[in-house]
Structure 1
Amino acid sequence: MNIVLSGYYGFNNVGDEAILYSIIQALRANDPNVGITVLSNDPTYTEKTYGVKAVNRWKLPEIFKALKSADGLISGGGSLLQDETGPKSIPYYTGIMKIAQVLGKPVFVYAQGMGPIHKPFNQKIVKSVLKNTQVTVRDVASKKLLEDIGLNHSIKIVPDPVMGLTRKDTSSRWWTEQGFNGPVVTVSVRDWPSSVDYKKKMADALDLLAKDGNTIVFVPMHGEHDDKTSKEVAGMMSAKSYVSPYDDSIEQKINIFGQSNLLIGMRLHALIFSAITVTPFVALSYDPKIDAFAEISGQQVAGHVNVDNWSEQELYEDAQRVLVNEEAEKKRLEDKIGPLQKQAAETASDAMEYFKR
């Protein structure tokens, strides 16, 4: 079987690369001989990193050729079908699906987070294209959005693909070299337009945690973008903190979260990495997907970066409460996450069965 994968791949975003890695891993667990071609912004990197074929996601002749010889297209995961961050995402990803449909290839929408879809025209495009696909989404809000725009066929809710990731024992050389002693609080922060000075609030809360004897370690999840923001927040702190290498591998970042005692995080896949290592987290939300994952994980959202109704003291107290009750929090997280990890691996099996039919 030959499968084409379409998503936000090859852009040096650890979260999306983790999605790709986990889908490839799950497909190969079902069929070690499966052929996989990824539509990538950086085909050379994708081929070298994951041992798959890759073609340029912007070159239509290459896309046509890959789809023509495929048994099916997987679209996802991630938040692909939304018009919040720009006008191009929906036309691009639905366009890829439409090409597959014209070529007579089945399309499987894989654990996507849907929306927001503000423009009525975009809603019509999504409805038109997705009515001829098998759809799985990663949360209740995504399913409701699709139902609200008129999709009335079966929509299955499944965990984010990264939940099914099988961890490798890949240590971070950087972490080992630091020789940290005592509890460590990891931090995932991203830049986000807001009238709320959430970065300063985070910095002040982290200073309070450092004063209690916690080591503060920033973990950039989106290359140089998050590296810059991490250093910006670290520069606002009075206490010493650390920023881990932005170009660490997925496995190395997972290892860092796994060795920490708590994550304070904005990035969804930082929260997921934390969850699969049974490391409790306190989330700061900028998007409904953060609230949704915190809810299913039984973890707290301390505040929203666009709503000025939380303080650095409250964020500190939320984090301190988790640290004091760390073992109980880990047990609660493990109970919530265990079943989701098994379900996440089953999505790949559903996709392959769909293509066979």
Structure 2
Amino acid sequence: MQRVICCGYYGKGNGGDEALLASLLQMLPPTVEPIVLSGNPTQTHTQYQVEVCDRMNGLQVLNALRHADALIWGGGSLMQDVTSAMSPFYYGGLMGVAQQMGLKTIAWAQGIGPLNRSISQWLAKKTFSGCHVVSVRDTGSAQLLSEWKIPFTLAPDPVWALDSRPVPGLWDFPAPRVALTLRPHPQLTPERLSLIIRALVSFQKATQTFILLIPFQPVQDLAIAQVIHQALPQNSQVLILDDPRQLKGVFQGVELVIGMRFHSLIMAATAECRCLALSYDPKVSRLMEELELPGWEIDQLPDDANFISKTWIDCYANQDPLSKGKIEFFVDRAKVHQELLDSQFS
């Protein structure tokens, strides 16, 4: 049995990152004993029944490294300096220490960047070049590694292949159902949020749909969901789901998602749900391009609520979801990340 530290933005209440952890644990070979670095060790242990360690407790982390065989950067945009200038230092520092200690180091299902600072770029290049193997989830990250002359494997985000679970009570909500996954962002100004709400009220009236407001990271997203619920008190519901497999399962009962959250669009597409994207980040824009999803960059949102509403109504009525063949392709390709783990630990 090999002891492997799983490091990511885990235990911080972000549904997308929790889905990446669930995907990683699902894909690890049975010969691996995972130790998860978490921002909420008790919750992570309860949810996944794995050994955990407080990600911000230096002594605990160092002790875990001393007794481990490998460290995995477990998916997502860890090496970026947009949401936090400190992220590259935390993850890069941890990876650097593991490499110095002689552990096998794996960068798994990474989305690299944006890296706006030269120090972040240098740190990312240095730590990725020291990894035993690297897999990435998008062509932008692949291009960066190519420029750095670092070998890599490219495959879709592992959440494509995450098992889903049914959501108790989902079918008690009125049908048809539409999901909304918004998050705060500087480009989602009060004016743009007001436009979206007005468009959503018109859309709901025209389609007679029931709106599920799903905060992927409640500490950030819940306030926006509650504001929208107040505008549609009889025809919407805020739905908080802690289990990422249920978060994926909820889209089985939804006709359309209007999503900012990257993993909400992947989860919805896997469930043959129609998708409309509102992009705040290059990773969402790349996904829109790859899946040919309609939508807008947030900073290019039309300033006419009626036009937005009519566009959504047209997509709801006429857009085809991703075909079964394409879904199977992405799910199968996402399992390349599992094959990489098998090759390292089996």
Q: TM-score if structure 1 supplies the norm length?
A: 0.89
Counterpart position of 1:349: 339
Query: Taking structure 1 as reference, are residues 177 and 108 closer, same or farther at Cα in structure 2, changes over 3 Å only?
Result: same
Quick check: 1:206–1:316 contact (8 Å CA) kept in 2? Answer: yes
Letter in 2 for 1:107: T
Distance 2:145 2:214 in 1: 34
Q: Are residues 1:221 and 2:216 paired?
A: yes
Quick check: 1:26–1:164 contact (8 Å CA) kept in 2? Answer: no
Letter in 2 for 1:296: E
Distance 1:3 1:254 in 2: 26
Q: Give the number of equivalent residue pairs.
A: 342
SS for the counterpart of 2:276 is: strand
SS for the counterpart of 1:55 is: strand
Q: Are residues 1:158 and 2:155 paired?
A: yes
Letter in 1 for 2:138: D
Counterpart position of 1:307: 300
Aligned ranges 1:47-62 → 2 under 5 Å: 47-62=45-60
Letter in 2 for 1:315: I
Quick check: 1:84–1:118 contact (8 Å CA) kept in 2? Answer: yes
Distance 1:349 1:232 in 2: 44
In structure 2, stretches of 5+ residues that fail to align are none
Quick check: 2:171–2:253 contact (8 Å CA) kept in 1? Answer: no
Give, in angstroms, the shift of residue 347 of structure 1: 0.7
Give, in angstroms, the shift of residue 340 of structure 1: 1.4
Alignment equivalent of 1:334, drawn from 316, 321, 324? 324
Quick check: 2:10–2:21 contact (8 Å CA) kept in 1? Answer: yes
Quick check: 2:204–2:210 contact (8 Å CA) kept in 1? Answer: yes
Letter in 2 for 1:191: P
Q: Are residues 1:36 and 2:34 paired?
A: yes
Counterpart position of 1:319: 312
Letter in 2 for 1:84: V
Counterpart position of 1:246: 240
Quick check: 2:27–2:341 contact (8 Å CA) kept in 1? Answer: no
Quick check: 1:297–1:337 contact (8 Å CA) kept in 2? Answer: no
Letter in 2 for 1:98: G
Counterpart position of 1:234: 229
SS for the counterpart of 2:335 is: helix
SS for the counterpart of 1:190 is: coil
SS for the counterpart of 2:300 is: coil
Give, in angstroms, the shift of residue 102 of structure 1: 0.9
Quick check: 2:226–2:238 contact (8 Å CA) kept in 1? Answer: no
Query: Taking structure 1 as reference, are residues 308 and 318 closer, same or farther at Cα in structure 2, changes over 3 Å only?
Result: closer
Give, in angstroms, the shift of residue 322 of structure 1: 2.5
Distance 2:222 2:335 in 1: 31
Q: Are residues 1:271 and 2:265 paired?
A: yes
Aligned ranges 1:104-253 → 2 under 5 Å: 104-133=102-131, 134-148=133-147, 151-168=148-165, 170-173=166-169, 175-178=170-173, 180-181=174-175, 183-194=176-187, 196=189, 197-212=191-206, 213-235=208-230, 237=231, 240-253=234-247
126-135 vs 16-25, which deviates more?
126-135
SS for the counterpart of 1:306 is: helix
Counterpart position of 2:285: 291
Distance 2:265 2:251 in 1: 9
Counterpart position of 1:16: 17
SS for the counterpart of 2:73 is: strand
Deviations 1:275-310 (A, max 9, x none): 12111110000001111122222322x212223546
Give, in angstroms, the shift of residue 64 of structure 1: 2.1
Distance 1:319 1:49 in 2: 36
Letter in 2 for 1:155: F
Counterpart position of 2:62: 64
Give, in angstroms, the shift of residue 144 of structure 1: 2.2
Quick check: 1:297–1:333 contact (8 Å CA) kept in 2? Answer: no
Quick check: 2:182–2:259 contact (8 Å CA) kept in 1? Answer: yes
Give, in angstroms, the shift of residue 166 of structure 1: 1.7
Distance 2:239 2:302 in 1: 33
Distance 1:244 1:252 in 2: 15
Distance 1:106 1:131 in 2: 13
Query: Taking structure 1 as reference, are residues 96 and 55 closer, same or farther at Cα in structure 2, changes over 3 Å only?
Result: same
Query: Taking structure 1 as reference, are residues 154 and 248 closer, same or farther at Cα in structure 2, changes over 3 Å only?
Result: closer
Q: TM-score if structure 2 supplies the norm length?
A: 0.92
Distance 1:58 1:259 in 2: 38
Distance 1:172 1:299 in 2: 29
Identity of paired residues, percent? 29
Distance 1:315 1:335 in 2: 30
Query: Taking structure 1 as reference, are residues 248 and 127 closer, same or farther at Cα in structure 2, changes over 3 Å only?
Result: closer
* Coordinate RMSD, CA, aligned: 2.0
